[in-house]
Structure 1
Amino acid sequence: MVRKDLVIIPDDEPGVLARLGETLGTADINIEAISAFTGRGKGLVHVLVDRADDAVQVLREAGFEVKASRDVAVAALPDAPGQLGDACRRLADAGVNIEQAYIAAGSHLVVVSDDVERARQILGG
């Protein structure tokens, strides 16, 4: 299954993540990972969901600005010291540049890179 990282740029105000979560929950779309930051009056949210195409539509209809939907590699990591370093070293040694990475539920590494297919092959995800 092709997995996608959705990039959302909301205004920085109370309740935005609550509304995002409620919007996806009402549509029966599961959030598998999320990363959120704010700065200069805006938020930057990366979210991995089980149904990306549906999520984009639902979020846009709810007024969220979905800036991108990018393919990702998702790989299970053992929950032990050094596993992130090992996975990222394998990518680096293969010349794959990591543009973004975060850990999802269940110790899964989510990677956006300059070569997602190669990253999937290397990580086995």
Structure 2
Amino acid sequence: MKDLEIILENKAGMLALMGETLGKHKVSLEGGGVFNNGAYSIAHFLVEDANKAAKELEKVGIRVVKINPVIIQKLRQDVPGQLGSFCRELANEGVNILTQYSDHSNQLIIVPDNYEKAQKVSEAWMERWWSKEDYSI
């Protein structure tokens, strides 16, 4: 999975055009969101085939700024404070979170500034939180 960073003109129908274009080309959106930023909106969407998605969006005049690698992190929903704790561990390793959203499976999606460091933190987190009996923070 990859994150598409997209600039949409902030006017009626642009998100519809994006969704219709991707649907027509059998590209499924697995999570993401759109955020108003004045005359334009910044969108981030999780897709399986990012190169195909970017190619088709560019054909209809939708600007794909970047294709980003993502960290897909399952947090324990039954333990309060998981988001803060995981993000603190990333920060302690010097990883800045550029974008954060959830996918359709309630997993945390992170676009980090340093994918390799973030991946190591994520792997350690998964080992610690999903393999132990004591889930207290």
TM class by shorter-chain length?
Answer: 0.7 to 0.9
Aligned positions of 1:1-125 closer than 5 A: 3-80=1-78, 81-124=80-123
SS of structure 1 residue aligned to 2:105:
coil
Q: Number of paired residues?
A: 123
- AA of the residue aligned to 1:102: Y
2:8–2:15 contact (8 Å) kept in structure 1: no
CA displacement, residues 3-49 of structure 1 (integer Å, 9 cap, x when unaligned): 32211112111121111111111111110112101232111111111
- AA of the residue aligned to 1:6: L
Which blocks of at least 5 consecutive residues in structure 1 are unaligned? none
1:76–1:106 contact (8 Å) kept in structure 2: no
- AA of the residue aligned to 1:118: K
Partner of 2:133: none
Displacement over 4 Å in runs of 4+? none
> What is the Cα deviation at residue 100 of structure 1?
1.9
> What is the Cα deviation at residue 70 of structure 1?
1.6
State how far apart, in whole Å, the 1-side matches of 2:23 and 2:77 are: 28
State how far apart, in whole Å, the 1-side matches of 2:90 and 2:13 are: 37
SS of structure 2 residue aligned to 1:63:
coil
Give 1 or 2 for the bigger CA radius of gyration: 2
More strand by percentage: 1
1:74–1:120 contact (8 Å) kept in structure 2: no
Identity among equivalent positions (%) equals 36
